[in-house]
Amino acid sequence: MRPHPLTPLQFQALLPFILPRSPAGRQIGDLRARMNAIFHLACTTDPWRALPAEHGKPDTVSRYFRRLTHAGLWERLLEAIKDNYPNHPLNEIAPLIFRACRRAIRLRGLRFIVLIRRLGFLTALNGPPNKLPNPDLSEKLKAMRLPAPPRTRKHFTAYLAYLKALKHLHRMAGGIKHISRKQRLGWS
């Protein structure tokens, strides 16, 4: 995906959600440039230190990204995208927001994954959905009651197949512990 600078209309739609001041109360210089830098890097697989010089200092941009993430920006943006009408300016930059969410998952954790799944934005996940934890499936499996084992030998093999499938679903609900870099980066 190729990043593009935010248009004035897109930035105005994004402005109510972002933090205009630092924790010390100082006004942040160019918010639009910072958001462009975040979205630029979110569209790549590069580390923060590889941020091009025209976007500013990598430490400053990454610190601002962490502040926004801990302040819950990405959750609010995902919910706003879900509630907006189709031609809203936020929906135009939704792919950029989804890419930034992929980086934010490491900071926000399992609750963020749950929110993304419940809202149906699977492209915001940082890997293939079938490889990541699925807490909703886990809760459904937990609520299921196992049928009593059959008394006849004839139905016992079907019962074992049922248990094996249930075990497989439990494993799927937990996700894979380590997703290879190739799978993570290949997920689009």
In tens, the pLDDT along 156-176 reads 888 888 888 877 777 777 777
133 shares its domain with 121: no
In tens, the pLDDT along 56-105 reads 899 999 999 999 999 999 999 999 999 988 889 999 999 999 999 999 99
The amino acid at residue 145 is: R
Q: Is residue 28 within 8 Å of 35, Cβ to Cβ?
A: no
43 shares its domain with 116: yes
Last residue of a domain, which of 125, 159, 174? Answer: 125
Please give the tally of structural domains in the chain: 2
163 shares its domain with 119: no
In tens, the pLDDT along 125-154 reads 888 887 777 777 767 777 777 777 777 777
Last residue of a domain, which of 95, 125, 155? Answer: 125
Which residue in 58, 50, 14, 51 sits closest to 32, CA to CA?
14
77 shares its domain with 131: no
**Boundaries of domain holding 165:** 127-188
Which residue in 84, 10, 2, 3 sits closest to 37, CA to CA?
3
86 shares its domain with 4: yes
Is the backbone of residue 25 left (phi > 0), alpha (psi -120 to 50) or beta?
Answer: left
Last residue of a domain, which of 125, 148, 163? Answer: 125
